Homo-oligomer: A and B are copies of this chain.
Amino acid sequence: MSEETVDLVKRLKIVEGHVRGVQRMVDEGAYCIDILRQTLAIRRALEKFDALVLDRHLHHCVTEAIRSSDSADQERALAEILEIFAATRA
């Protein structure tokens, strides 16, 4: 496993632990606002994870697709970025 992959999995393990922590908070009747602050932190952590995945994707898959002579591959690579972009903000 590459160092990058190890880092990505580690980040998700932290997110997983964080989600379990929020389960306990809900179980124990924590204050709603404190729960919302924690789920916000989880979403921020997922956004950071996504940024790293997209970085890797642009530097490898997209760069290769654009340099290839296969125009269908190129178009698919760009369409996928636009799809992710539209989905994250909409």
Contacts and interface: CB of A to CB of B under 8 A. Distances in A.
Interface of A: 1, 5, 8-9, 12-13, 15-16, 19-20, 22-23, 26-27, 29, 31-33, 35-37, 39-40, 42-44, 46-47, 49-51, 53-59, 61-63, 66-67, 74, 78, 80-90
Contacts of A27: 1, 5, 9
Question: How many copies of the polypeptide does the oligomer hold?
Answer: 4
B58 A50 contact: no
A12 B16 contact: no
Contacts of A46: 39, 42-43
A89 B90 contact: no
A41 to B, nearest CB: 10
A8 to B, nearest CB: 5
B8 A12 contact: no
A11 to B, nearest CB: 9
